[in-house]
Amino acid sequence: MYETSAMEGHGRHEEEFRNTLKEPIIGAAWRYIDTLCHEFTLKNIPFECHREIDFAYKGTVIKGQRMDLLVHTTIVVQIKAV
């Protein structure tokens, strides 16, 4: 018979807990980006939201990457959760 240790059970419970939080957290991040975009608009700060880019890396082109925000055509803003 296979038995799981208390730690393994805890790990599965923790993973399930994290999975239930993913959608609300991601939704909050999108709302945060939308709020920043609105603020930039109100302050006449030039920006682009969710811009897709391709970039070169060690001789190959990596396609379809996305920046959360590009401000003044030079400042990349990425929203991260840790």
**1 in any annotated domain:** no
**82 in any annotated domain:** no
Please state the rounded mean pLDDT for residues 56-79: 92
- pLDDT > 50? residue 2: no
Total of domains in the chain: 1
**41 in any annotated domain:** yes
Cα 76 to Cα 50: distance, rounded to the nearest angstrom: 11
User: For tokens 């980006």, what's the residue?
Assistant: 33
Position 8 scores a pLDDT of 54
* Residue 76 tokens, joined: 């990349």
pTM score of the predicted model:
0.60
Kindly report, residue by residue over 12-67, the tens digit of the pLDDT: 788 888 878 778 877 777 788 888 899 999 999 999 988 898 989 999 999 988 88
Whether the CB-CB separation of 49 and 33 falls below 8 Å is answered with yes
**12 in any annotated domain:** yes
Cα 80 to Cα 68: distance, rounded to the nearest angstrom: 10
Where are the strands (E) in 1-82, listed by range?
A: 47-57, 60-71, 75-77
7 or 24, which is more confident: 24
Structural domain including 72 reads 6-77
